[in-house]
Amino acid sequence: MSLSLREKGIAKMTIPKPLIDAIRSGQVVLFLGAGASLGASHKGNAIPPSGQKLADLIATKFLGPEFVGRPLENVAEIAISENNLFTIQEYIASIFNEFYPADFHKLIPTFKWQALATTNYDLIIERTYSEVERKLQVPEVFKKNGERIESKLKKLNSVVYLKLHGCITQIDDINIPLILTPEQYITHKKTGLDYSIGLQNSLTNSHFYLLGLVSVIQIFVQSLFN
């Protein structure tokens, strides 16, 4: 039995008319934080873990009950030091790989976006576009510096999709680790943050529709305005 949106803690929201008009004209950058994954489909009706829940899962798996309740930054640092980065990332990937798009996620491809961006590790958006036949665009995923933006966007109806915190499909690349804290996001020079700067000219005049953890998303937005 699947849970309703209300049972999953998802409230309805009102979108201002100017933003609706901007969405209709394809002038909006859709930025998805952790909250955007709430309601995702899972065979066991699980909910995508919050930062604290993820910390507790890592603590229970690798460290012991005395570490449960500690912040994700602290737990992740200790777990990685006592094991290794790839072992921790493999475990995280095993958690998020079980989530699939809900029906409301499948509305996203029916709109035209200036760009897509996310701080999420999961594959919900990729799977959404794969499952929806009448999509208006095809997302081209960017995960690290050095990828050729111009060549990847030559395809018809392609749209930039930035994965700023890494992705569970590339957990064996030390240059693009899964970012577990806002501090890592700021200081790690080989993550998607440099992509946000590289796309500055094309995104600065766009509207932003932020869904999720605004405190983290603001770091990205501030980098554009700086």
Domains of the chain: 17-41+102-225 (3.40.50), 51-96 (no CATH)
What averages of pLDDT result for each successive group of 10 residues across the chain (226 residues)? 49 77 88 88 94 96 97 93 94 97 95 91 97 95 76 82 90 87 59 49 61 56 55
Per-residue pLDDT at 45 = 93
- How is 160-217 classified by DSSP, letter by letter? EEEETT--TT-TT-TTSPPP-SHHHHHH-TTSTHHHHHHTHHHHTTSEEEEES-HHHH
Nearest to 180 by CA among 54, 41, 42, 36: 54
CA separation for the pair 34, 24 (Å, rounded): 25
Residue 224: what pLDDT?
Answer: 53
> Does the pTM of the predicted model rise above 0.75?
yes
Core vs surface per residue 41-64: b (16+ CB within 10 A) or e? beeeeeebbebeebbbbbbeebbe
Instruction: Residue 183: count other Cβ atoms within 10 Å of its Cβ.
Output: 10
Work out the widest C-alpha separation in the chain, in whole angstroms. Answer: 53
